[in-house]
Structure 1
């Protein structure tokens, strides 16, 4: 019988555990394994990459600075990006977009206006959804 021996010059990786991250507005949770000493920011990044890889909707983007990770059991405060995921003591989390400020909303409106004339299929699709069909 062969026993696995850890190399002496290799540091211990710490405990690993399965977490479940529910994205607000998505169909179901994303599950993946993390180290207990991994930072919350790294967990958010991994969750966003897994979400995009699976092709889930709504499309979120990849900037982890636009998101907050909550622990529904621990309270209403978002977790700090610099704390470790294992320090919370739970395995179920909620990923939400940060609330937008007025400046970011204004910049999004101006960029949407500038894109309107581009003639992209997305603009046509959104315009066609906004058409009202009158019923008799």
Structure 2
């Protein structure tokens, strides 16, 4: 009877060893996950392991800011609501979502073309380092 209980399968399914490489970090993070786990939960687990190990650069803890890629499958990011074992891959790359570069500035905001650069120059010249 004891032998039967040890061989009993888990209700969630098979566990797999996942290797997640974070861009800019020294090496991959390895941990066990279930094949049915969502990509979003795998990203969350990877961020927690990354923070627990004290790795650099600091990433944060919001899994919505990150994308998980599978280099063997293609350049498209994985859907956050798919199972991690759906592709059959075990090696992944984690990186930040790209920020929007084309933000529209309204005229009512008081921003002018080139105004931010001029303000930066004026501010940088007004800073003076005092010597003792």
Instruction: Specify if TM > 0.5.
Output: yes
Output the CA distance in 2 between the equivalents of 1:77 and 1:35.
Answer: 22
Give the paired residue count.
103
Aligned-pair CA distance for 1:34 = 0.1
Aligned-pair CA distance for 1:88 = 1.1
Deviations 1:51-96 (A, max 9, x none): 0000000000001010000000000000000000010100000000
Matched residue, 2:28: 29
Deviations 1:95-120 (A, max 9, x none): 0000011489xxxxxxxxxxxxxxxx
Tell me, what secondary structure is at the counterpart of 1:33? strand
Output the CA distance in 2 between the equivalents of 1:92 and 1:2.
Answer: 36
Output the CA distance in 2 between the equivalents of 1:90 and 1:77.
Answer: 14
Aligned-pair CA distance for 1:4 = 3.5
The two structures have a TM-score, normalised by structure 1, of 0.69
Matched residue, 2:5: 5
Q: What are the within-5 Å matches in structure 2 for residues 88-99 of structure 1?
A: 88-99=87-98
Matched residue, 1:78: 77
Matched residue, 2:122: none
Output the CA distance in 2 between the equivalents of 1:4 and 1:25.
Answer: 46
The two structures have a TM-score, normalised by structure 2, of 0.71
Matched residue, 2:67: 68
Matched residue, 2:57: 58
| Structure possessing the higher radius of gyration over alpha carbons | 2
